[in-house]
Amino acid sequence: MIDKNIDQLKRLKLRKNAEMRLKVYGILSISLALIMLATLMISIGLSGYSALQQAYVKLEINVDSKKILDEKGGFSNQKALLVNWDGIVSNSFITNFPEITKRSEKRSLRALMSSNAGYELRQYFQKNPDDLDENITIWLSASDDFDQYMKGRFNTSVDEKDRRLSNQQLKWIDFLAMEKISKLKFNTSFFVNADSREPESAGILGAVVGSTLTLTITILFALPLAVMASVYLEYFAKPGRLTDFIEVNINNLAAIPSIVFGLLGLSVFLGFFGLPRSAPLVGGLCLGLMTIPTIIIASRASIRAVPPSIKDAALALGASRMQAALHHVLPLAAPGILTGTIIGMAQALGETAPLLMIGMVAFIIETPDSFTSAATAMPVQIFMWSDSAERAFYERSSLAILFLVGFLIIMNSLAVFLRRKFEKKW
């Protein structure tokens, strides 16, 4: 047995207590962070889940094929342009209420259908021209206020004249819902459409594709440049004033407000090179410039963390510096470089400021199909929706945030997977 005097025991106890306290602090701070994260995700989830559904109205419609088909029996865009699709929709809709005859009442009844319902009908016949001349039953979008009321998100306690729906309109909606003429169904348009002025037709796909295209350019541009720069700085640059100057400035670049990169992109890529505005190509280059310093700093750290004995071994065998770097050091540094890249990319994914300057903060209704077509990005889409007056955009921006977070999780899991794959056992 080791002899312990009182003094030693006291100190031992103090030390144990201190250790205990530190442990408790650690657990507390981690739990606090987790609680905050959970609160955030739950509140966004609660306000966003309802956007997964959308109010649709069942209509019986019969459209004369002569008005739409050309001589060969194909769908004629020219003829379809002349058809009053909105009229067809509202006429069919009004038949649900034969008792209504007054013009003003008819107008407020028509307002319950989405102003894009006519377009949806046209799209349907474009896809299914065989259904012309037939009596068909089709579900078309209701207006966003209709939708919000059905989801219980419409505040009826407000004075009638300050509301977007009158008591009469609310009664009609109740009637339609009771008769199962209108229903909440899965909101496909959110997943297949780009932006729209009407919340019921607005979708996230355009922004997801825009972000994907932009980040593709970012990684293709930033990763090779940053890795080459860090290999040069670690292996070839002679230490001296110039190298110090470059190093200091790379660190400074990492701290520059991102909007400055947007200004740079505006003057260089748009002004000097004349690249198209709002294009993922330009957005990707701007975000790439912003990401390069982050990747350089991470890459240099992980290159430096490779034991110098590996480099020495390669050099002693007669490998050139380049061969030592490419064959031995870079593969070992790859996991670290990848982590840095993902951090940089995640930063770029959430960035809106540089995109502001090059016109990617814009209302774009087409899903982009190339690197030079007009596009927007996910954070921009969220920002624009949350800025809109319509209540129905509120739930859509929450759902879009969940999408953005999901995108990030996918990117991070990919990084973890690649890390595991490249990591070498020692």
Nearer to another protein by Cβ, of 150 and 338: the residue is: 338
Round to whole Å and give the CA distance between 251 and 232: 16
Q: For residue 337, give the nearest of 213, 234, 214, 215 by alpha carbon.
A: 234
CB 116 within 8 A of CB 66: no
Cα distances from 284 to residues 229, 262, 299, in angstroms, run 19, 11, 20
Does residue number 155 form part of the binding site for another protein (CB under 8 A)?
no
CB of 299 to another protein, least distance (A): 19
Nearer to another protein by Cβ, of 180 and 424: the residue is: 424
Does residue number 314 form part of the binding site for another protein (CB under 8 A)?
yes
Does residue number 421 form part of the binding site for another protein (CB under 8 A)?
no
Does residue number 260 form part of the binding site for another protein (CB under 8 A)?
no
Does residue number 328 form part of the binding site for another protein (CB under 8 A)?
yes
CB of 321 to another protein, least distance (A): 8
Residue selected from 98, 152, 274, 318 as contacting another protein according to rule CB under 8 A: 318
- For the beta carbon of residue 44, count every other beta carbon within 10 angstroms: 17
Cα distances from 313 to residues 242, 302, 320, 331, 374, in angstroms, run 29, 19, 11, 15, 52
In the structure encoding, which two tokens stand for residue 337, read together? 């470089």
Residue selected from 170, 259, 275, 310 as contacting another protein according to rule CB under 8 A: 310
SS3 60: strand
Residue selected from 320, 370, 409, 414 as contacting another protein according to rule CB under 8 A: 320
Does residue number 316 form part of the binding site for another protein (CB under 8 A)?
yes
Does residue number 17 form part of the binding site for another protein (CB under 8 A)?
no
Does residue number 323 form part of the binding site for another protein (CB under 8 A)?
yes
Instruction: Tell me the angle at which helices 392-422 and 330-349 cross, rounded to the nearest 10 degrees.
Output: 180
The number of residues in the chain equals: 426
Taking the alpha carbons of 330, 333, 335, 339 in that order, is the dihedral positive or negative?
negative
Nearer to another protein by Cβ, of 66 and 425: the residue is: 425
Q: What is the DSSP letter of 391?
A: T
Taking CB under 8 A as the criterion, which residues in 222-241 touch another protein? 238-239
Nearer to another protein by Cβ, of 122 and 311: the residue is: 311
Does residue number 312 form part of the binding site for another protein (CB under 8 A)?
yes
Residues interacting with another protein, by CB under 8 A? Answer: 238-239, 307, 309-320, 323, 327-328, 332, 424-426
